[in-house]
């Protein structure tokens, strides 16, 4: 059972996450032969104040 975890900045709509989950599931089914029901996708959302790149908070950019 594949478990895919996605960490991204908060602010995506439920519809966007729905589409992402569907497309990732499609790829896992196509490439690994697993059944759709066996693919789990979890979204972890972080605020711009809780995410940094290159030592700089995203909220400071």
- Just list the catalytic residues: 2
Task: Give 3-state DSSP helix, strand, coil % of the chain, rounded to 5.
Answer: 45, 30, 25
Q: Cβ distance 41 to 25 under 8 Å? A: yes
């Amino acid at each position: 059972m594949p478990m895919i975890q996605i960490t991204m900045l908060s602010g995506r709509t439920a519809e966007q996450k729905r589409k992402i989950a569907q497309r990732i599931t499609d790829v896992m089914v196509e490439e690994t032969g697993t059944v759709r029901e066996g693919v789990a996708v979890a979204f972890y959302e972080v605020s711009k104040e809780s995410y940094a790149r290159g030592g700089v908070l995203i909220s400071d950019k």
